[in-house]
Amino acid sequence: MTMLIRKATADDAKAIVEIILPTIREGATYALDPNMSEADALAYWMGPDKETFVAEEDGAVLGTYYMRPNQAGGGRHVCNCGYMTSAAATGRGVARRMCEHSLEHARSRGYRAMQFNFVVSTNERAVRLWQSLGFGIVGRLPVAFQHPTAGDVDAFVMYQQL
């Protein structure tokens, strides 16, 4: 069983929705409207400003990520990514594999840094994973996130030069 990471196609839309919608509905890790429609969620994740990838194993999509320029103009050499893993595949290193893939892809595209704008501080597993892959916490946003169960919490800006 080899995990393959490849560009997403229109045929992956259903599998991607099944991964991203539960996470969006939970509202605990992404600053997105938990009630957004399936169509809006898909438009967000696979929008024309983004390159979208899937992590696949034996024909099953286990995770997905996107990459886009984080800013335009003089800031377009820094990219931004978002990653989500299927609940069923959690703990198997899918996010790590996707992030490693994204760093390599970003370099190949000429990006010179990668920035995560809003990492919820309670998402400790993600914070540790990004740190282990070279990201530093370069900013802390005080009580910038209203967590559905933890209440008001901080968010981090994480960054890595490539």
107 contributes a contact to a second copy by CB under 8 A: no
| Residue 117 binds to a second copy (criterion: CB under 8 A) | yes
Number of chain residues interacting with a second copy (CB under 8 A): 38
Pick the binder of a second copy from 5, 8, 20, 30 (CB under 8 A).
Answer: 30
Question: Is residue 34 near a second copy by the rule CB under 8 A?
Answer: yes
Binding window for a second copy (CB under 8 A); candidates: 8-16, 48-56, 87-95, 137-145: 137-145
Residue (129 or 157) nearer to a second copy, CB: 157
- CA–CA separation, 135 and 95 (whole Å): 14
Site for a second copy in 64-103 (CB under 8 A): 71-78
Residue placing its CB nearer to a second copy in the complex, 22 or 139: 139
* Dihedral (CA of 103, 29, 49, 79) sign: negative
4 binds a second copy (CB under 8 A): no
| Token couple for 43 | 């438009």
Measure the CA–CA gap between 113 and 161, rounded to whole angstroms: 4
- Among 123, 116, 115, smallest CA distance to 153 is for 123
Dihedral sign, Cα of residue 71, residue 130, residue 122, residue 156 = negative
